[in-house]
Amino acid sequence: MTQTGTKVADLRYITTLKNKPYIRVYIYRSSDDTKDYQVTTVHGKVSSCDTPATHPCYICKDAQRREDERKPVSTDQKGTLNGSCGGHAFSLLK
């Protein structure tokens, strides 16, 4: 079996902040299985990465790829309750 020089990012879990759903935190395991690294994305773009790399590493690239694959929310569904209001304003007041 031959081994190539590419590393595979080992994603452990993803969490989204409850009060700020546009912020997602990815936790990856290092290639030597000794440390966990945290990558934060804001509005679909990598904003911070605590790996020791000085240029975009394979972990940051994997997190960005995953963000790019996510389906964006259409503008008519923003602000509605599960999109069930048909794009109209929702109010509890009469």
For the chain, which residues make up each domain, given as ranges? 10-69
Mean confidence (pLDDT) of the chain: 78
- Does an H or E element contain 62, and which? helix 58-69
Q: pLDDT tens across 3-40, in order?
A: 456 788 899 999 999 999 999 999 999 888 899 999 99
Q: What is the pTM of this model?
A: 0.67
pLDDT reading at 42 higher than 90? yes
Structure confidence at residue 83 (pLDDT): 45
Query: Which has the closest alpha carbon to 10: 33, 39, 44?
Result: 33
